[in-house]
């Protein structure tokens, strides 16, 4: 289900009968509409974002990804099916050895060493977000873990594809183009398709009360995503 720009806004129908994911997205619609109006995102889109703000964001997101990978790793522990275990494990690998390539590329361009990055202290909002996801992963099951990680993964695709649709030259920008291309890429979308398929599979047969919990987790993490953009824009520790 490689999505087009705007697909996730307004509750547009998802492919593959992704009913639970659709409910989660609809519940977070207002939050997601705010992402593409955020000054940080608009700065990425038109190339006007101050490099020092991006540098701050980059380092915080680099730290975030280590904890994000740990949430997926907990899914390996909680999953009962070998295929589900492999899926969670593959995402740990893709985060640590794939998505982080974007960050490492920018770190090289900005003259930031891996050692310098790992000495950076995570901001309070960063810590709060990852602590929430890790608590869900520790206390709940595979479906709840997937609900926790899904907002980050697919919101970045949504934002990048929205940028491409509304700012056609953004992919060519000398500095921010790499970020836009990375998250608008079809390979990234394909990985998200698989996440959504697992979300639906894990939630199959769930009673209404448990689906409501999945929606709650997704909305909470969507709110944390919004706070992360605020943190980056304000360079808040």
| Residue 86: pLDDT over 90 | yes
Q: Any idea what the Cα angle at residue 165 is, between residues 235 and 50, rounded to 5°?
A: 25
152 is catalytic: yes
CATH (domain of 208): 1.20.910.10
- Domains in the chain, number: 1
| Residue 15: pLDDT over 60 | no
Least confident of 117-121, 124-128, 160-164: 117-121
Quote the pLDDT of residue 14: 56
> Is residue 55 one of the residues assigned to a domain?
yes
Least confident of 88-97, 120-129, 130-139: 88-97
pLDDT digits (tens, 9 = 90+) for 165-192: 999 999 999 999 999 999 999 998 998 9
> Is residue 63 one of the residues assigned to a domain?
yes
Quote the pLDDT of residue 6: 42
Mean residue pLDDT of the chain comes to: 90
Quote the pLDDT of residue 97: 83
Of residues 11, 9, 16, 103, the one with CA closest to residue 60: 103
> Is residue 92 one of the residues assigned to a domain?
yes
Q: Are 41 and 35 in contact (CB under 8 A)?
A: yes
> Is residue 31 one of the residues assigned to a domain?
yes
> Is residue 6 one of the residues assigned to a domain?
no
- Residues 48-66 as b or e (16 or more Cβ within 10 Å = b): ebeeebbbbbbbbbbbbbe
> Is residue 143 one of the residues assigned to a domain?
yes
221 is catalytic: no
Cα–Cα distance for residue pair 146/22, rounded to 1 Å:
14
Catalytic position from the list 140, 152, 157, 200: 152
User: Of 54 and 12, which is predicted with more confidence?
Assistant: 54
| Residue 200: pLDDT over 80 | yes
Sign of CA dihedral 32, 49, 55, 90: positive
User: Of 114 and 46, which is predicted with more confidence?
Assistant: 46
Task: Give me the domain span that covers residue 56.
Answer: 15-234
pTM value is 0.90
Mean pLDDT in residue range 38-54: 97
User: Of 43 and 103, which is predicted with more confidence?
Assistant: 43
> Is residue 179 one of the residues assigned to a domain?
yes
> Is residue 2 one of the residues assigned to a domain?
no
| Residue 8: pLDDT over 70 | no
């Amino acid at each position: 289900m490689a999505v087009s720009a705007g697909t996730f806004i307004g509750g547009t129908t998802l492919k593959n009968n992704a009913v639970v994911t659709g409910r989660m997205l609809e519940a977070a619609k207002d939050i997601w509409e705010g992402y593409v109006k955020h000054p940080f995102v608009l700065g990425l889109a038109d190339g006007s974002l101050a490099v020092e703000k991006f540098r701050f964001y980059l380092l915080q997101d680099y730290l975030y990804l280590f904890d994000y990978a740990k949430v997926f790793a907990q899914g390996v522990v909680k999953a009962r099916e070998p295929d589900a275990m492999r899926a969670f494990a593959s995402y740990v690998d893709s985060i640590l050895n794939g998505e982080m390539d974007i960050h490492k590329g920018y770190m090289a361009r900005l003259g930031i060493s891996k050692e310098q990055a790992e000495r950076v202290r995570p901001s309070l909002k960063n810590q709060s977000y990852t602590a929430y996801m890790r608590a869900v992963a520790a206390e709940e099951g595979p479906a709840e873990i997937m609900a926790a990680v899904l907002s980050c993964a697919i919101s970045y695709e949504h934002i990048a594809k929205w940028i491409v649709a509304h700012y056609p030259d953004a992919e060519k920008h000398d500095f921010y183009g790499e970020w836009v291309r990375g998250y608008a890429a079809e390979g990234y979308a394909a990985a998200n398709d698989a996440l959504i398929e697992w979300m639906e599979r894990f939630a199959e047969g769930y009673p209404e009360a448990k689906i409501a919990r999945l929606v709650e987790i997704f909305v909470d993490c969507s709110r944390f995503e919004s706070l992360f953009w605020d943190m980056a824009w304000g360079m808040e520790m």
